[in-house]
Each structure stands twice: as C-alpha cells, then as structure tokens.
Amino acid sequence: MTYSILIPKDWKSDINFRILYYTKGLTLMQISSRFTIALHIFTCVEYFKDREKITSDFLSGSISSNPVIIRNILSQLRKAGLITVARGTGGIEITRDLSEISFYDIYMAVEAVKEEGLFHFHESPNPLCPVGKNIHRLLDDKLVKIQEAMENKMKEYTLLDIKRGMEEFC
C-alpha cells in the first residue's frame, strides 16, 4: 500500500495546511480548521468565563494548537465584532448573546471564502474536450446551491446550541 503525503515547508504555521492522504483506496483531504478552532474558542470562553482567565496560552492548551494560531483567529473574531480581547491583563469576552451568534457568523469571520465561492475550479479545462468545454456549465449552478445549502444550515445553529450541549455532557 502506498501513502502519499504532500507537506508544505511551512506546515507548522500554515493553518490552511492541506494533506492528501491515501489509505485503503480512499482519498481524504483535510481543509482549514479555523472554523472548528473558532467554535472551540467560543466554547472555552463561555465554559470557563467565571473560572479562569482566558488567554491564548490557556486556549492553546485546550485546543492543542500553537498560541500564534489562536491569536490569529482571535484577531479575526475581534475584527468581526464577535469578541473583545483585553491585552496585557488577558481576557476574552463574547460581545453578543450566544443565541445571536450563528455558526455562519463565525464561519464568515474566520474562513476566507473568495468571490468564486467555496469550490475552486481547476484553472484551465481543455476547451477542445467536450467535458472540459462544458464542465463549468454542468457544475457551476449546482456547486453554488451546495454552498448556499451549507451556509443556510450554518445559520440554524448558534453558540447557545453548543452551550446547551456542554451542559448536557458536563
């Protein structure tokens, strides 16, 4: 069995690191983890708010990620107006009620979805090939609908759902 792993030189600091992993005939691709790290951050901030001073070092211990990555995501969340960060003394606060922050809000704050959308087409399909010539017409509208469905589903879930789940599990 052959395993092929593509690792960029700066893989330790590249949050967009993508790994192509072959096993048992399946191909899996890991995409950016910023969104789930951001959800983890919010969950920690809410859960530990009255027990711990929430800092990037504290969060990196829970998430098992480099504090620099955590600070970059915190910066994105702050710029989106979802949190405030007190430098020096430390401390992170959520700016709105948990029921008012959807997964979509967080996703839009931390994921760089370009104008062309979530699904990026290969640059130059062969215009002389019947498939290459028509692939955009075949897929573009479907991929847009898939992205819209995902984004609409994200709007249905809020941080309050996570808080309720934590209360159930802990």
Domain ranges in the chain are 1-31, 34-169
Model confidence band, residue 58 (pLDDT cutoffs 50, 70, 90): very high
Q: What is the mean pLDDT of residues 128-147?
A: 92
Structure-block tokens of residue 137: 């017409």
Judged on CB neighbours under 10 Å (0-12, 13-18, 19+), 91 is middle
Cα separation of 75 and 41, whole Å? 12
Provide CB contacts within 8 A for 135, sequence distance 6+. 121, 125
Q: What is the mean pLDDT of residues 139-147?
A: 91
Among 33, 43, 105, smallest CA distance to 69 is for 33
Q: CA geometry: angle at 79 spanning 167 and 105, to 5°? A: 45
Whether pLDDT at 170 is above 50: yes
Name the one residue in this structure whose structure tokens are 């692939």.
135
Where is average pLDDT lowest: 67-71, 83-87, 119-123? 119-123
Cα separation of 114 and 62, whole Å? 30
Model confidence band, residue 124 (pLDDT cutoffs 50, 70, 90): confident
So what's the architecture of 34-169 in CATH? Orthogonal Bundle (1.10)
